[in-house]
Amino acid sequence: MACGKKESPPPGQGPAAGAKPAAPAETGELNLLIFPDYIDEKIIKEFEAQTKAQVRLTRYDSTEEMESKLAYAGADSQYDVVIMASQILPRMVRRNLVRPLDHAQIPNLKNLESRFAGPGFDDGNKHGVPYQWGTVGIVYNKKKLPNLDPSWSVLLDPQKLAGTFVLLDEQRDMLGSVLKYKGYSSNTTNANEIREAGRVLKEVKKQPKCLGFKGGVGAMEDVRAGSVDMAVVWNGDAQKQIEQDKERLAFVIPKEGSVIWVDVMTIAAKAPHPELAHKFINHVLTPEGGAQLSMYTKYATPNAAAQGKLPDADRTNTLIYPTKEVADRLEHHRDLGEAAKVFDEVWTEVKSQ
């Protein structure tokens, strides 16, 4: 079976005619656009109890889908807080899809680690506040693949495919991983290198062992259920399942290296409830909120005040917080400027062919 999944609508295009989102309530409602399984219900319930507001979640599976939803909403946006990948934040700012943050309404910004207080993608956290960070690797069934080579080649080289697998349905993370496999920077702006990464994915799509592109939760579920032998996933999704099945599941960051991503909390430019949105961001940034979030997602927290409240098992877990040896092989996502268009073109070709 060839690899493939229905592609999300390209940014700027919306769903079918007549599917315009319903207008949100005037008051007392916070609308959150977020990846699946990416926030603890306890955090939401605590916020609702404190503010007397109701939180409504809309989930998306890929960055392309999120951008499409937000752009389609336009002036009638139904979204308040949007959790997104940091590397696309500059583009969202250029498209006027997110608003500047009022730091006076977010006093808990002081809890961020210094390295996240003014990251290169958004100096001074003008438009985004770090939410979680993590990396990308391969989760696999170690009973089926007991001697897996810790290399991207086990699912990117047609001559070395170790078993059945699914690929990660996220443009920068998947293409970035292929670029690391080929010995390039995951942030390359060289069009030839980006297109070479695309050719690798198009070739592996043709292989019978490649069973699709999926979001991290879906890919992880396929491995857990035994539908595939391995998958490209985010480390937190892997950790949550490994805790339930240590005898069968394992995760590795390939020896060629991988990427580090940071997801951020933003406020939609036309957010109907911007004051509530600021309160929500501030709530997540409490020491207790930050710790609860990371204990649930199993991703690393950028919240320095939260780290002391984490259990030792999480704080010392090298799958969540990589060792220096592994970290030296990882590369942070950066804004690509005009080269982002090449990534978009190549990804569209990969998904459509």
Task: Transcribe 149-173 into DSSP letters.
Answer: -SSTHHHH-TTS--S-EEEE--HHH
Backbone angles phi, psi at 171, to 5 degrees: -55, -60
- Pair 119, 262: CB distance under 8 Å: yes
Render pLDDT for 118-177 as a digit per residue (tens, 0 to 9): 655 577 899 999 999 999 999 999 999 999 999 999 999 999 999 999 999 999 999 999
Find out whether 320 and 236 touch, Cβ atoms under 8 Å. yes
Q: How far apart are CA 81 and CA 91, in angstroms?
A: 17
pLDDT tens track for 272-299: 999 999 999 999 999 999 999 999 999 9
Q: Which two tokens stand for residue 248?
A: 């069968």
Measuring CA to CA, how many Å separate 15 from each of 78, 212, 219, 268? 15, 23, 25, 19
Q: Is 60 exceeded by the pLDDT of residue 1? A: no
Q: Report whether pLDDT(19) > 90.
A: no
Nearest CA among 72, 37, 75, 71 for reference residue 57: 37
Residue 332's beta-bridge partner residues? 260
User: CB neighbours (10 Å) of residue 103?
Assistant: 14
The pLDDT tens digits for 304-313 are 999 999 999 9
Provide CATH code, domain 134-260+330-352.
3.40.190.10
Q: Where are the beta strands (DSSP E) in the chain?
A: 29-34, 54-59, 81-85, 129-141, 165-168, 210-214, 230-234, 249-252, 258-267, 330-332
- 29-133+262-320 maps to CATH 3.40.190.10: yes
Q: Is the pLDDT of residue 12 over 60?
A: no
Q: Which residues contact 100 (CB under 8 A, 6 or more apart)?
A: 126, 127
Share the mean pLDDT of the chain. 90
pLDDT on residue 134: 97
- Please give the C-alpha separations between residue 12 and each of 23, 69, 161, 334, 340, in angstroms, as whole numbers: 19, 8, 37, 22, 16
- Compute CA distances 190 → 100, 122, 185, 249, 336, whole Å: 31, 23, 10, 37, 10
CB 165 within 8 A of CB 155: yes
Q: CA 202 to CA 193: how far, in whole Å?
A: 14
**pTM assigned to the model:** 0.85
Q: Could you check whether 29-133+262-320 and 134-260+330-352 share the same CATH topology?
A: yes
Burial class, 47, CB count within 10 angstroms (exposed 0-12 / middle 13-18 / buried 19+):
buried
Q: Which of 74-88, 287-301, 323-337 tops mean pLDDT?
A: 287-301
Q: Where are the domains of the chain?
A: 29-133+262-320, 134-260+330-352
| pLDDT bracket for residue 15 (50, 70, 90) | very low
Asked whether the beta carbons of 85 and 122 are under 8 A apart, the reply is: no
Percent of the chain with pLDDT over 70: 90
Average pLDDT over residues 25-29: 63
Residue 19 CB neighbours (<10 A): 8
Q: Biggest alpha carbon distance in the chain?
A: 58
Q: Which residues contact 293 (CB under 8 A, 6 or more apart)?
A: 39, 40, 43, 131, 132, 284, 301, 306
Cα(248)–Cα(209) distance, integer angstroms: 20
**8 A C-beta contact, residue 264 and residue 128:** yes
